[in-house]
A and B are shown apart, each in its own frame.
Chain A
Amino acid sequence: MISQSYRILSRISRNNELKKTFLTNLNCKSSSPSIIRSFCKKQNLDENFEYTNKLEVQELKHYIPCYTIMDQEGVVSKPDQDPNFSKEEVIKMYTTMLTLNVMDSILYDVQRQGRISFYMTSFGEEAIHIGSAAALEMSDTIFAQYRETGVFMWRGFTINDIINQCCTNEHDLGKGRQMPMHFGSRKINLQTISSPLTTQLPQAVGSSYAQKLAGEKNCTIVYFGEGAASEGDFHAAMNFAAALSTPTIFFCRNNKWAISTPSKEQYKGDGIAGRGPNGYGMKTIRVDGNDIWAVYNVTKLARKIAVEEQVPVLIEAMTYRVGHHSTSDDSSRYRTVEEINAWKEGKNPISRLRNYMNHKGWWSDAQEKETIANARTTVRESLVNAEKQYKPSINEIFTDVYDKPTPNLIEQQKELIEHLKLYPDEYPLNQFADSKLILKD
């Protein structure tokens, strides 16, 4: 009892006023634990734990279970949890996944041929993209990492938009300034992607705080990988979201690999989900990322909680990165083909949904072939067209650094133009929009 009083006293010892009140309290009444507790409550020093006289080290005992409802055969174990989308909606979901898959294959090869500078596929993570995107409203803001292309496609980001960005032509909404896969679009409420990992997490918390402040019935969802969750910004964001009570959905794609680093070298705890409830006091769900209905249900519930209760939710979707990290990576140098195939075949999110459709009689081999052929044609045509387009005007080097160009930027722009006039044949000017006009001035 005495030690307890001292402990509390030491916690408040820097506050003289509080100390005086506490001592008076102790002196005039018998110092029972309930008095201390009620004092603490009154002084906002409430402690939520029980005291124990048992000396015991706490260890990880219970792993958060992984919610799944549809198996690889496309059978929904709990039919009442089948979101029961209509045939048309399911076909739209499936064809989007398939189209993403086809586009990834082509653009991966196209990068290999040097026609685009970089690419990142989404192989194995298609159900995460479509399942989560379908559960959101367009008015919900997205912050993404870079492997969420399907989310954007579901929202209306077209193959043309994607390929224009990858080809960094004048139709790229980002004006050709960033590497491929760094999409951003006001139309689909997607804040532009940047390469530094996890920086988008605290930003998403700020974004959702602004939504809350404005009284909007929306949330912000932020996607990230399990590797990114090791960054300090993850901690910052989770703690801010919980402490400031923001409508944020943290969506972790745990695909077991951060480039060559397996998740077992990334953390020792219960994945990312394990950090949620006890670590940050955040509502948390772990889900089978290769089960589109499970992902949909979980995201739908998370959105409801975020918007209605105005609190954050953490989702950890368990999946597997079937493809290489990027076109600059050869994953066979650090993992086995057997491992890849086990996921590619045993837990494939696309064939899982196809099996579901087969049971309903909603899909045929002919439709499959046709969809793939259509996707190929669309991607190839889009690519050929995108490659023919001009690159953005070289003036765009200097715009958007600030709201209005500063004097030194205006001057440096002039310097470049004068320089190009001296050496017009030494630079690929004919590929860039308006260059003749610019050099003529």
Chain B
Amino acid sequence: MLRGNNIKKVNSLLVRSFHSTVGNRSGGPSTPINYPSLEIENAGEKQKMNLFQAINNGMDIAMQKDSKAVVFGEDVGFGGVFRCTVGLRDKYGASRVFNTPLCEQGIAGFAIGLAAQGATPIAEIQFADYIFPAFDQIVNEAAKYRYRSGGQFDCGSLTIRSPYGAVGHGGHYHSQSPESYFGHTPGLKVVIPSTPIEAKGLLLASIREKDPVIFFEPKLMYRSAVEEVPIGDYEIPLGKARIVKEGKDITIIGWGAQMRVLLQAVNMAEEKLGISCELIDLRTIQPWDVETVVESVKKTGRVVISHEAPKTGGWAAEISATIQERCFLHLEAPIQRVCGYDTPFPLIFEKFYVPDHLKNFESIKKTMVY
């Protein structure tokens, strides 16, 4: 925690940095960034994969190991509009990998029925923006299936995958981040990976999880994020956050595509201001890893939470309220939320709308000098 002399030191740093290199040309999604890969124990052979290939590889393994696993959705048969299901139909046949009619409520309802009858549905909603027609099936049906039957029936083998988040030019309906709508629903698990290695491990865990899982894939990273991914079968447990980078002055929390933005902000804060940031990837939105977050905040005393989704009612509100409940005596500054604005996701204004590394950098600065 920074006290006394330390704060003075940061203040002088801030003044200098404010007039230096921070401009609109620094950073941005095109800037190469070395995101630390997760080490998988006993991983075996590895292969370079981008995010969509890692997802594809995860589904391949799931289908190979579970003869009841089926993959379906709009246009998944030929490989999917983001190439995530390429080759699966040839390998597992058209009865296990198939197109459905263009109808999201149908896809979700159909998937629930498959799961209730003992199959392992891996459903795709083409964009998270189009998951809302299926909202009733997901919230009223999938989430409550086990509870309302007294545990007699469940649709726990259900996984709904969907690309989410900003993509540079997606406008209103190819950019949304709807995780907090689902996080508010008991009975659902909501997972968002941030790297190819994690995408595969979290997807395999989600498919095998005994609860219905909504799995949002950061589409901005389908091709851009590349890692050496283990080709074997491995899982990353749900409900566990990852400390991407340890630090002692401030805790930064995010998930999905936002993790790269945050790492950039963190690097800036360290380089320019000498602030040691602890960067946490929440990975599972619901149920989220309160313990890891609280432990970190108790250590640092300061928090910035950032997500692409609009601020009001966003998941950062939930996290920040919980931190406030559990770390009140440890907090040195108000919890900051760096989020999308409370507007629909705008097309030409995307660069201004998104909570980019600079907005996060500024927020870290503010929190440190509070």
Contact = CB atoms under 8 A, between A and B. Distances in A.
Interface of A: 141, 143, 172-175, 177-178, 182, 184-186, 191-192, 194, 196, 199, 201-211, 213-214, 220, 232-233, 235-237, 239-240, 243-244, 396, 399-404, 406-408
B149 A192 contact: yes
A174 B148 contact: yes
Given A184-B153, A236-B105, A213 B116 contact: no
A9 to B, nearest CB: 22
Nearest to A242: B101
B105 A233 contact: yes
B101 A184 contact: no
B132 to A, nearest CB: 12
Contact of B113 (A178, A192, A205): A205
Nearest to B151: A400
B106 interface: yes
Nearest to A402: B211
Contacts of B145: 192
Given A240-B110, A408-B287, A403 B154 contact: yes
20 contacts: A174-B152, A177-B147, A184-B152, A184-B153, A194-B148, A199-B140, A202-B108, A202-B112, A202-B113, A206-B109, A206-B117, A207-B113, A207-B117, A209-B114, A233-B106, A240-B110, A400-B146, A402-B189, A402-B287, A404-B210
Contact of B136 (A143, A177, A196): A196
Nearest to A209: B114
B156 interface: yes
B187 interface: yes
A206 B152 contact: no
B243 to A, nearest CB: 18
A406 B190 CA distance: 13
Contacts of A206: 109-117, 119, 121
Interface string B129-149: 000010011001100111111
B96 interface: yes
B357 to A, nearest CB: 32
Interface string B314-337: 000000000000000000000000
B147 to A, nearest CB: 5
B23 interface: no
A404 B211 CA distance: 9
B291 A240 contact: no
Given A192-B152, A203-B109, A406-B287, A240 B147 contact: no
A239 B101 contact: yes
Contacts of A203: 109-110, 112-113, 116, 141
A191 B116 CA distance: 8
A205 B153 contact: no
Contacts of B291: 407
A210 B114 CA distance: 5
Contact of A213 (B95, B106, B141, B149): B95
B211 A192 contact: no
B239 interface: yes
A204 B113 contact: yes
A240 B151 contact: no
A237 B148 contact: no
Interface string B280-292: 0000000100110
Given A194-B140, A213-B119, A406-B239, A186 B152 contact: yes
Nearest to B133: A232
B98 interface: yes
Given A403-B156, A406-B239, A232 B149 contact: no
